[in-house]
Amino acid sequence: MTSTTFDLHNKRILVTGGAGFLGRQVVRQLCESGADPQKITVPRSHDLDLRKMENCQRAVDQQDVVVHLAAHVGGIGLNREKPAELFYDNLMMGTQLIHAAYEAGVQKFVCAGTICAYPKFTPVPFKEDDIWNGYPEETNAPYGVAKKALLVQLQSYRQQYGFDGIYLLPVNLYGPEDNFDPSSSHVIPALIRKVYEAQQAGAATLPVWGDGSPTREFLYVDDAARGITTALQHYSECEPVNLGTGYEISIRDLITLLCDLMEFKGEIVWETDKPNGQPRRCLDTQRAKEKFGFSAQVSFEEGLKKTIDWYRQNPQ
């Protein structure tokens, strides 16, 4: 584990996306790690559009740390519908924010990437060194390539300017307060909502996209936030780092587990004319453990139960 420690005490910290699903947990854990809540700034997109350079410059002014979590992101449906927006918005936000932070003398920049950046066919578990060995899965590619460009930018700014930027690759997140909007949600909230609504309607069947064969790995949001704050304090190198659990589950087994936990007795109907997405996703998590001592703590079933309980109390 890297011995260097970046002290958060009295640091002025900008958290883009800090009002979002992951961002709220990151802000909470920054405070628990010694940051002053009064010195954490969370810009809102309706007040500060980070696709514009002047807004990035305003956002980073007088800041010591930038944690860049803001993203235009969604599931397969959104990726197919708006590839151009996903590419442009994420590239513009990230690349201008990094440059503005460098020019403003920001001490540390933490960038959340995406495992959509990995090639479509990557040896499983995904190792960080394999990230350039092919083109991403087509439906994710515009988003994944835009976010991967930020890794190149941070590495080159470190090389030329000595700018301390780190790049983290969190796997699919889930947990209470996730986005359950069917038009843009990821797989776990989408399936929880689908099962809940089928139960409410007394449906005998449950249609699910694809054939159930793809595998995914999921990280509980509290674990992800802890990984990000730990890396901020204890990691300062150019190589990207995966944040995950190393636990792989098929979509077929996931929906079966959700139906069991939610006590849904209907029949699952696979819509095989709909896309599957990337065939397999599972991360090698050794680098995070070795470099800054991070490993996930919340078990998958425990995390699912907490997420289901939250949604049942807050159906959307």
Catalytic residue among 118, 143, 220, 235: 143
Q: Pick from 120, 75, 69: which is nearest to 278 by CA? A: 120
What residues are designated binding site for substrate?
Answer: 194, 209, 216
Annotated binding site for NADP(+): 17-23, 147, 170-173, 186
Quickly count: other Cβ atoms within 10 Å of residue 124's Cβ.
16
Q: State yes or no: is 88 an active-site residue.
A: no
Q: How far is CA 309 from each of CA 127, 200, 265, 283, rounded to the nearest angstrom?
A: 34, 15, 18, 27
Q: Which residues sit in the known binding site?
A: 17-23, 147, 170-173, 186, 194, 209, 216
Backbone angles phi, psi at 308, to 5 degrees: -60, -45
Q: How far apart are CA 113 and CA 105, in angstroms?
A: 22
3-state secondary structure 20-76: CHHHHHHHHHHHHCCCCHHHEECCCCCCCCCCCHHHHHHHHCCCCEEEECCCCCCCH
Closest CA to 50 of 84, 98, 87, 111: 98
Catalytic sites, residue numbers: 143
